[in-house]
Copies of this chain bind each other. A is one copy, B any other.
Amino acid sequence: MPRARRIGEFELIARYFAPLARGFPGAGGLLSDNAFLPADKRRDLAVKTDTVVAGVHFLADERPDWVAAKALRVCLSDLAAGGAKPFAYQLSLALPKSWSERWVAAFARGLAADQRQYGIVLSGGDTVVTPGPLTVTITAFGHVLAGRGLTRAGARAGDRLWVTGTIGDGALGLLAARKRLREPSLERRYRLPQPRTALGHKLIGIASATADVSDGLLADVGHIADASKLAVLIERERVPLSAAARRVLADKPTLWANVLGGGDDYELVIAVPPLWQPALLAAAQAAKVKVTLIGGFSRGRGVELTVGGKTMRAPRKGYVHF
């Protein structure tokens, strides 16, 4: 998937869009997943916008209710990384010319199911017809303690690096969806992300920095390291894998590149000071989310990976959107 094409997304944002967010502290220089708008004395409004395009971010013939779920959940994952509790969303739906009412009905059922599951409600939006592919843009809103929204910046040397759930299932699931692997559980994981909404808002006061794994573990941990101006070391042996991913890797170890670099996991990576480790474990238990220690932050720059006792500079390229 990675294609180098002119400048990348991060560079494009840094060069042309970050200057437009200057003077708005809650935008965080567009370096984090969420924007934080002041609401009242107690709470800020966390805001996340994500666009998914048929054939690019999901299978062109994906089930309409799963398209709805994917579009919503990639945003909910970011809100969770920000420590926010979601409550509403705006929907922009650009339907291809061939749209059918049956498709829209199933798409709306998918939204309704996720509204119940995550306690959110549609607040507004827009519907248009496009000569291009189906395109869904969600802007999701969450509440977060005023001034306490979590970002990629804030990790300190000595903080440990934790990750929720298992890593690599998203990228391996894409291969399964494309029939290049036979692992239905992984395919489902790619097609239907499970955002860590139950844990995210409990990380306030525990995490020093967070991100969700959408671009790939190495890339997203690298974003935390960069934003926090630190180096980070990941021990590959500690990276939590599903049974299916372990089977796949035993058969084809070269797919480690996909596991660490492939994205679409929608797990959280969390920087936590050692002192708060018991609090993290208690929060994870309360949220019924598994967390695993996979590395730590130190002075310096860049991402290093330990494999079989040997430490190497990690390739930084995750999923490249462009």
Which A residues fall within an 8 A CB radius of B?
5-7, 9, 12-13, 16-17, 19-24, 26-27, 30, 34-35, 37, 39-41, 45, 47-53, 55-57, 88, 90-92, 94, 99-101, 104-105, 107-108, 111-112, 115, 121-133, 135, 137, 139, 141, 321-322
Contact = CB atoms under 8 A, between A and B. Distances in A.
Nearest to A141: B37
Contact of A124 (B6, B48, B101): B48
Contacts of A125: 17, 30, 49
A121 B20 contact: yes
26 contacts: A9-B127, A16-B108, A17-B108, A17-B127, A19-B108, A19-B112, A20-B111, A20-B112, A23-B121, A30-B124, A30-B125, A39-B39, A40-B41, A47-B123, A47-B124, A49-B90, A51-B94, A53-B128, A53-B130, A53-B131, A55-B131, A56-B130, A90-B139, A92-B92, A128-B321, A129-B321
Contacts of A101: 6-7, 12
A58 to B, nearest CB: 12
Complex copy number for this chain: 2
A51 B112 contact: no
A12 B126 CA distance: 11
B55 A123 contact: no
Contacts of A88: 24, 35, 37
A125 to B, nearest CB: 5
Q: Which 10 A-B pairs have the closest CB atoms?
A: A132-B132, A35-B124, A40-B40, A20-B122, A35-B123, A16-B108, A24-B121, A49-B90, A137-B137, A139-B139
A56 B128 contact: yes
A213 B226 CA distance: 47
Given A20-B112, A131-B132, A124 B27 contact: yes
Nearest to A20: B122
A45 to B, nearest CB: 7
Nearest to A48: B124
